[in-house]
Structure 1
Amino acid sequence: MRSTSICVVGSLNADLIAYVGAEGSAASYATGSNFEMAAGGKSLNAAMSIASLDPTVTLVGRVGSDDLGNFIAGTLRARGITTDGIIRDDRTYTGVGHVRVNPEGEYDTVVVPGANGNFSAADVDAYLNGHEPPAFVVLNLEVPLPAVRRAATRFRELGSTVVLNLSPVHSEARTLLRLADVVVMNRSEACHVLDVPPDTDEHLLLTALREAGAKTPVLTLGDGGAVALDGNHLVEEKVEPIHVVNSIGAGDSFLATMVLAMANDHPFAVSLRAANQAGRLVCSRSESFLTSDDIRQIENVIGVPLSKGSITASQASESIRR
C-alpha cells in the first residue's frame, strides 16, 4: 500500500470533444474543425494534474466494465496513477462528457453520469477501510451528494484537510459549506449558492460565504484571477491574459495546483498564485491537465519549487484550520 499526500474522490468520464469551426452553424447543424476523445471528469483532471508533481496521488471513483473504462484506466496507468481506488461497475457504462468547444475556447457540456451516478457513501467507507487517510482530500459535486457528504465527513474526522470544489453547483450545495476546510467556486456558482445578483461584489461574496459556513472560501474570476479569505486576510491574485484554446480543464488544474502547493506547506497567497498560472497554462492548449513542463513554468512564476516534500494529515490540518 502506498502512502499519499493527496486523494481525489469523484468523477471519471470519457470526454468526446468537438471543436466548432469558425464558420459557426446554420439552423441546428454545426460543422466541427476537430474531434478528440480524452479521459476527463473533474476528479480525473485534477488527479492527472497533481500527478505531474506528486505520483502518489490516489483517485477514487467508478467506471464501467467497458472499452471506455479500459481507456480511462490505461490513461491513468500511463500517468503513473494507481487504479486500485477505481471500481469497475458491471451495472452500467462509463460516464461520458459530450463537449463542444467554440472558436473562443469556451465550452458547453452534456454529461451522462453512467458509473459516476452509482458512486456511494459505501464506496467511500470501503476505500478508507483499506487505506491510510491522506493529508488532503479533493472533492467536487459530479457524483451523488450523499457520497460527497460522507467523504467530507469521514476524511475530516480522520484528520484530512477537505478541499471542496462546489461545482457543478445545485440547490443543496450550500449544505456542504461547513463540511470543508477550503471551498472553491467561481463567481456565478457563489451567486447561485447565496441567491444574490450575478454582479455582487466578490468581497461581499466572500464575506457571505464565510458567514454561511465556508472556513476558507476561494473565488475564481476567470481572467480576473482569484480572491480568497484566509483567516482574517483577504488574498487577491491577478493573472496575465492568454489566448484561450480550450478552457475545459482550467478550473480543475487551478484546484489541483492550489492543493499541491498547500500540501507542500506554501503560504496561501503563493498557492493561489501557482493555481492562477496553472489555469492559464491549461487554457492555452487542448489538453485538460498539467504536464511536468507546466510545473516548471509555474515554479518560475512563483519563484520557488512547488515540492517541499509531502506532509502528514495532522500537519496539514493544523496549518489550514488555524
Structure 2
Amino acid sequence: MRPTGICVVGSLNADLIAYLGADESAASYVAGKRFEMAAGGKSLNAAMSIASLDPTVTLLGRVGADDLGNFITAALQARGISIDGIIPDDSIHTGVGHVRVNPEGEYDTVVVPGANGNFSPADIDAYLEDHAPPAFVVLNLEVPLPAVRHAATRFRELGSQVVLNLSPVHAEARTLLRLADVVVMNLSEACHVLDVPQNTDVPLLLDALREAGAKTPVLTLGGGGVAALNGNDLVQAKVAPTRVVNSVGAGDSFLGTMVVAMANDHPFPVCLGVANEAGRLVCSHSESFLTPADVQPLEEVVGVRFAKAPAGSSAGSEKVPT
C-alpha cells in the first residue's frame, strides 16, 4: 500500500517575541513596542501551516515536562494536531526561541535548544514501531544531526519522500544533501554549504547543489521568489510585494505548503507558486504560520484548491500577547 500523509519531524520551541520600537538604541538598551509568547520552532511552524491545509499532519519531537511544554501541546491540540508524537522530557526544559522583530519585520533569534537537543534516533525508531511511514517527511537542522540523518535514512527506506530544509545551516549540512528527495534552503545557506561567494548566480548554485548530491534543490530568494531544479528543468516563481509584519515563519510556511501541494500531486511549478504565496501571507501577519483564515485567499490567488478539510480552530493558547 502506498504511504499517505505528512509527518513533520524536529523542533518545538516556546517563542518569546519582542517587537522593537522605532527609536534608536542607546547604551545597549532597546525599547520594545510589545511582547508575545507563541508556539514556535521550525518544525512546529511547518506543521501548523500544513494543518490549515491538511489536518491529518503529524508532528514528532520533544518538549520539556514544564509549563512551556504544556503551552505548546495545548496550542497543537487547539489547531487539531495530535500530540501522540510529542515526547515529554523531564530531564530538561522546553526549547526557547528569544526573537526580536524590528519595525521592518525582519528578525534575529537566540535559540536555546532545551529538549530539542535530546531528540535522538531512538525517538524515530520508537515512533515507527507504532506508526505507519507517511508519504512525506519534513525535516530541518534544528535538532541534532544524528537524529536528522537517521530519520532521513529510515523513512526513505520505508518509502517516504524526504523534504529537508537545510536550516539552520552548519558545517556538516552538505553531507545530508544526498539523503533527501527535495532540499530547500535560502541563498545565503546555499552559498555557505557550497563555500562560494554570496553573489554567485542562482542557476550556477542550483547546478552545484545538484552535483553535490541534491536531487531536487530549491532556493528561496526572499522578495525575489524561488528557483529550483526539477529534473532537467529550471523552475522559477516570483512573489508579489507585501508589507512585512513578521518574517519569522515565512520559510517554514513555504516549506509546509510546498509539501502539501506535492502530496496532492500538483505540478512542481504550482507547488512552488503556492508555497511562495504562503510565505508572503505569513509575512503579513504576526503569526509564524498559516492560519485557517489564510486558506481561502491562498487558494484564490494560485487558483488551486487543496485544503482537504476544515482546519481546527485558531485558539488563543497559540499566542499570549502582553
Q: Is the 8 A contact 1:14 1:97 kept in 2?
A: yes
Provide the TM-score with structure 1 as the length reference: 0.94
Partner SS, residue 191 of structure 1: helix
CA drift of 1:292 comes to 2.1
**3-state SS of the aligned residue for 2:103?**
coil
Q: Which residue of 1 aligns with 2:175?
A: 175
**Partner Cα separation in structure 1 for residue 24 and residue 124 of structure 2:** 44
Deviations 1:270-301 (A, max 9, x none): 00000000000000111001012212112111
Deviation at 1:190, TM superposition (A): 0.1
Q: 1:304: how far off?
A: 1.9
Instruction: Name the counterpart of 2:186.
Output: 186
Shift of 1:308: 7.0
CA contact (8 A) 2:52 2:307 kept: no
Aligned to 2:93: 93
Unmatched tracts of structure 1, length 5 or more:
310-322
What amino acid maps onto 2:135 in structure 1?
Answer: A
Pairwise CA distance, 1:24: 2.8
Q: Give the SS at the match of 1:59.
A: strand
- Whole-angstrom distance in 2 between the partners of 1:78 and 1:4: 23
Matched residue of 1:22: which SS? Answer: coil
Q: Which residue identity is paired with 2:54?
A: D
Q: Does 1:70 align with 2:67?
A: no
What is the CA–CA distance in structure 2 between the aligned matches of 1:247 and 1:152, rounded to whole Å? Answer: 27
| DSSP-derived class of the 1:52 partner | helix
Conserved 8 A contact 1:166-1:185: yes
The equivalent residue for 2:320 is: none
- CA displacement at 1:5 relative to structure 2: 0.7
Structural RMSD (CA) = 1.1
Query: Which one-letter code corresponds to 2:230 in the other structure?
Result: D
Q: Distance in 1 between matches of 2:99 and 2:215?
A: 33
Matched-pair contact (CA < 8 Å) for 1:242–1:284 = yes
1:242 offset after TM fit, Å?
0.5
**SS in structure 2 opposite 1:87?**
strand
Q: 1:160 to 1:204 in 2, by over 3 A?
A: same
Q: Does 1:215 align with 2:223?
A: no
For residue 290 of structure 1, what is the aligned residue in structure 2? Answer: 290
Shift of 1:265: 0.5
- Tell me what 1:56 maps to: 56
Question: What residue is the counterpart of 1:109 in the other structure?
Answer: 109
- CA distance in 1 between counterparts of 2:84 and 2:280 reads 32
CA deviation profile, 1:160-204 (whole Å, cap 9, x unmatched):
000000000000000000000000000000000000000101110
Contact 2:254 2:278 in 1 (8 A): yes
* 2-structure distance, mates of 1:267, 1:294: 22
Structure 2 residue identity aligned to 1:281? L
| Structure 1 residue identity aligned to 2:44 | L
Asked if the contact 1:21/1:103 (under 8 Å) is kept, the reply is yes
For CA contacts below 8 A with separation 6 or more, give which structure has more relative contact order. Answer: 2
Q: Is the 8 A contact 2:54 2:308 kept in 1?
A: no
Q: Which residue type is aligned with residue 99 of structure 1?
A: V
For residues 287 and 24 of structure 2, the distance between their equivalents in structure 1, rounded to whole angstroms, comes to: 23
Secondary structure in structure 1 of the residue aligned to 2:30: strand
2:11 touches 2:143 (CA, 8 Å); kept in 1?
Answer: yes
Q: How many residues align?
A: 307
**Do the aligned residues in 1 keep the contact of 2:295 with 2:307 (CA within 8 Å)?**
no
SS of residue paired to 1:25: coil
**Amino acid across the alignment from 1:226:** V
Q: Displacement of 1:126 after TM fit?
A: 0.5
Using the TM superposition, give the Cα deviation of residue 144 of structure 1 relative to its aligned residue in structure 2, in angstroms: 0.1
1:239-278 equivalences in 2 (<5 Å) = 239-278=239-278
CA displacement, residues 7-50 of structure 1 (integer Å, 9 cap, x when unaligned):
00000000000011011311210000000000000000000000
Could you tell me how far 1:4 is from its partner in structure 2?
5.4
**Alignment partner, residue 46 of structure 1:** 46
User: Are the aligned partners of 1:68 and 1:94 in contact in 2 as well (CA < 8 Å)?
Assistant: yes
Deviations 1:224-277 (Å, cap 9, x if unpaired)? 000000000000000011110100010000001000100000000000000000
Counterpart CA distance in 1 for 2:293 and 2:78 is: 17
Return the alpha-carbon distance in structure 2 between the equivalents of residues 122 and 197 of structure 1.
Answer: 38
Q: Secondary structure at the match of 2:241?
A: coil
CA contact (8 A) 1:138 1:162 kept: yes
The one-letter code matched in structure 2 to 1:263 is A
Residue 314 of structure 2 aligns with which residue?
Answer: none
Asked if the contact 1:264–1:307 (Cα under 8 Å) also holds between the matched residues in 2, the reply is no
Instruction: Tell me the equivalent position of 2:235.
Output: 235
Q: Is the 8 A contact 1:257 1:274 kept in 2?
A: yes
Alignment partners' CA distance in 2, 1:94 and 1:138: 21
- 3-state DSSP class of the match of 1:146? helix
Give the SS at the match of 2:123: helix
